[in-house]
Amino acid sequence: MTTPDAAPPLPGFSLGAQGAEGRIWYGEYLGRPAVAKERFSKAYRHRKLDEMLTKQRTVAEARAFHRMGDIGVRAPKVYLTDVASGLVVMERLPGVTARQAIIEAHAAGDATRVEAVARAIGDMVARVHAAGFVHGDLTTSNMIVLAPEGGGEAAGGGSGAAAAAAGEAAAAAEAPPGGSASGAPRLALIDFGLSQRAKASQLLEERGVDLYVMERAFTSTHATCPEAFDATMEAYAGSGAWSAAKGPASAQSRDGTLSHLQRVRARGRKRMAFG
Ligand X SMILES: Nc1ncnc2c1ncn2[C@@H]1O[C@H](COP(=O)(O)OP(=O)(O)OP(=O)(O)O)[C@@H](O)[C@H]1O
Residues that bind ligand X in the complex, under the rule CB under 6 A: 17, 19-22, 24, 35, 37, 76, 90-93, 97, 141-142, 144, 154-156, 190-191
Q: Which of 137, 191, 230, 255 is catalytic?
A: 137
Kindly state whether residue 61 participates in binding Mg ion, applying the rule CB under 5 A: no
Q: Write out the binding residues for Mg ion, residues 179-208 only, by CB under 5 A.
A: 191
Which does residue 66 bind out of Mg ion, ligand X, another protein, none, counting CB within 5 to 8 angstroms by kind?
A: none
- Does residue 74 contact residue 188 with C-beta atoms inside 8 Å? yes
Which does residue 76 bind out of another protein, Mg ion, ligand X, none, counting CB within 5 to 8 angstroms by kind?
A: ligand X
Smallest distance from the beta carbon of 21 to Mg ion, in angstroms?
A: 8
Smallest distance from the beta carbon of 191 to ligand X, in angstroms?
A: 3
Instruction: Output the residue with the shortest Cβ distance to ligand X.
Output: 19
Q: Which residues bind another protein (CB under 8 A)?
A: 1-2, 18-21, 42-49, 52-53, 136-139, 141, 194, 209-210, 212-214, 216-217, 220-221, 223-224, 264, 267-275
Phi-psi sector, 20: left (phi>0), alpha (psi -120 to 50), beta: alpha
SS3 string, 134-194, reads ECCCCCHHHEEEECCCCCCCECCCCCHHHHHHHHHHHHHHHCCCCCCCCCCCCEEECCCCC
Smallest distance from the beta carbon of 191 to Mg ion, in angstroms?
A: 4
Query: E-assigned strands of the chain?
Result: 14-18, 23-29, 32-38, 78-82, 87-91, 95-97, 133-134, 143-146, 187-189, 196-197
Taking CB under 5 A as the criterion, the residue among 142, 195, 232, 257 binding Mg ion is 142
- Number of helices (H), then strands (E), belonging to the chain: the values are 7, 10
* Residue (191 or 206) nearer to Mg ion, CB: 191
State the Cα–Cα distance between residues 162 and 215, nearest whole angstrom: 30
Instruction: Output the residue with the shortest Cβ distance to Mg ion.
Output: 191
**Residues tagged active-site:** 137
